[in-house]
Amino acid sequence: MAEIGTGPMVIFLHGFPTFWWTWHEHLSAVADLGFRAVAMDLRGYGGSDHTPHGYDPTTLAYDVAGVIRSLGAESAIVVGHGWGGLAAWSMPILTPEVTRAIVPVSIPHPRRLRRAVFRDGVQRRQSMYAVGFQWPFLPERALMADDCARIGEILQDWSATPSWPDPETSLIYRSAFSLWPTAHCAVEYHRWAFRSVVRSDGLQYAKRMDQPINVPVLQIHGGADESVLTRTAAGSQAWAGNSFEFAVIDGTGHFPHEEDPSAFRDRLLPWLSEFAD
């Protein structure tokens, strides 16, 4: 976990296959606006607990709410990428008392994503990597082979920026992912997502997430994201309220906050400034 600044809390959540460090270029800028910027590791990553269970968006939302409260804040603006973005979408419904506003990055509303996987052949094909994660043991071994070389390949494959990740950035993420049982925990998120289509907890979560979101939403997406298509992300407003903005960062893929940090801040900081005390 990293923390800087004072004021209202903005909590940053990473996605697969990164950790809190994915936000390192943005924390100081957010703190300079008058916020307390916090970046945390999700359950199963980095310095967090690596538990046997709990790799679903409901548990994740309660995890984040617990961190917010444990740090002495009553509420926070939640910025989340990928799986962290699913937590961001979930928190206004599951933990509204601690959720002031949300910024989902590179992830549509979970109901929109579910619908797109079923109805959009291209999005379904791009999501098929998760099917390979359903096997026991083998996905973890593949992700960890050759000093987690596959993690570096995923970062490159999902990026649309040839210069990102550079070798140093790739090594940082590969090194963090190599700490067992991070690989197992990361795969467990994807196993839950695949199985949630028929499991009772997944169906209950989907039903709850059909409720409208009543906090301000800034959704940010990479215009060249081939992992989660822009047209998939663009349908999320149906579940958001009147205070909704959708920002596309052209030329970036699945990691817009790292591929083009300056453009990302150009979208995020003016929006955040409206919440500064």
Query: What is the per-residue pLDDT for 95?
Result: 98
Query: What is the per-residue pLDDT for 129?
Result: 85
Burial of 218 (0-12, 13-18, 19+ CB in 10 A): buried
Is the C-alpha dihedral spanning 119, 124, 126, 130 positive or negative?
positive
| Cα–Cα distance measured from residue 159 to residue 170, given in angstroms and rounded to the nearest whole number | 12
| Torsion angles phi and psi, residue 39, rounded to 5 | -120, 125
- Omega before 270 within 30 of 0, i.e. cis: no
Average pLDDT of span 196-218:
92
Q: Are strands 36-40 and 2-4 parallel, antiparallel or unpaired?
A: antiparallel
Burial of 11 (0-12, 13-18, 19+ CB in 10 A): buried
Q: What is the pLDDT of residues 23-60, one digit of tens each?
A: 999 999 999 999 999 999 999 999 999 999 999 999 99
pLDDT band at 62 (very low <50, low <70, confident <90, very high): very high
State how far the alpha carbon of 74 is from the alpha carbons of 5, 9, 47, 116, in Å: 16, 9, 24, 35
Number of neighbours of residue 34 by Cβ within 10 angstroms: 15
All domains of the chain, ordered by start, with CATH? 2-273 (3.40.50.1820)
Can you count the helices (H) and strands (E) in the chain? 13, 7
Q: What is the pLDDT of residues 11-31, one digit of tens each?
A: 999 999 999 999 999 999 999
| Cα–Cα distance measured from residue 209 to residue 111, given in angstroms and rounded to the nearest whole number | 7
Residue 181 reports pLDDT greater than 80: yes
